[in-house]
Homo-oligomer: A and B are copies of this chain.
């Protein structure tokens, strides 16, 4: 994916994942494309509620809706999930860089102290 994600894009992405129903919809559509009606059978809420969740996922780019006659098939967009995962990996990188910085300082310190001790 060529385009960078804006802060709003990322807001939507993680917001879409911040709900158990939406995560379940994502799981199911990762396994197989499904219509909204088929999806809604799996949840104890109104059709409109499931429809809203699908819309949130679509706005976040995590799924797309493809028309098949009167049905819309909800199709997962794995590339977007990978994108979210990459964002999190970057936060982890920040930590590793910080840890690496600390080790470098300690290594320098040990060298100085080693020299001092050999006196």
Contacts and interface: CB of A to CB of B under 8 A. Distances in A.
Interface string A2-25: 000001001111110111100100
A1 to B, nearest CB: 14
Per assembly, the copies of the chain total 2
B85 A92 contact: yes
A81 B85 contact: no
A95 B33 CA distance: 11
Contacts of A31: 94, 97-98
Interface of A: 7, 10-15, 17-20, 23, 26-27, 30-32, 76, 78, 81-82, 84-85, 88-89, 91-92, 94-95, 97-98
Given A18-B18, A30-B94, A85-B89, 10 more contacts: A7-B23, A11-B20, A14-B18, A32-B98, A78-B92, A78-B95, A82-B92, A84-B88, A85-B88, A88-B88
